[in-house]
Amino acid sequence: MTARAAVKGPGTRSRAAMRAGSGRGLRVAIAASRFNPDITEQLVTNSLRALAASGVDRRAVRVVRVPGAFELPMAAQWLCREGEYDAVICLGAVIRGETPHFDLIAQAVSRGLMDVALSEGRPVVFGVLTTETVEQAEERASSEGLNRGAEAARTAIEMAVLARQFAQKA
């Protein structure tokens, strides 16, 4: 293994690994927070673009809005229980302020989304930015920056395909 391969993580996933068409036939839901709308809308837009580039039909994608990140786990659970989606992408932005609110929300959302994924047996992707500043959030949301919305979409496709493979073996 080369040194470069050793440091590769999920954020460096090759675009070639998510070939065009790898999402064909998948149904995906996106639950997005309305809080921090300038940032969240970039996440949604970039996620939709990545889904389309991977072959997911736009008519097979449902976008629902919730007031804030704290409400994402409940929305994800409702979407999973509908049984119509291969994966649920949860998008939002929690930016540190002057109170402990950030820590409470960030922990509750991450734990809540993991609990939903495990209890429902369906991929629930954590696309919630947790940053110290608005500038950091903007960098992570931007299509010219780290593009975490697109990354969340690619993760959803990869996990949905993997879930299907496991289901076929069962």
Residues 47 and 150: beta-carbon distance below 8 Å: yes
Instruction: Answer yes or no: 101 catalytic.
Output: yes
93/79 Cα distance (integer angstroms):
20
Minimal CA–CA distance to 102: which of 129, 130, 75, 127?
130
Count how many Cα atoms sit within 13 Å of the Cα of residue 49 in the half-sphere of its side chain. Answer: 13
Looking up tokens 């080369």 gives: 2
Provide the pairing of β-strand 28-33 with 61-66. parallel
Q: Find the catalytic residue in 101, 114, 118, 164.
A: 101
Measured N-to-C along each axis, helices 101-120 and 72-82 cross at an angle, to the nearest 10 degrees, of 10
Residues noted as catalytic: 101
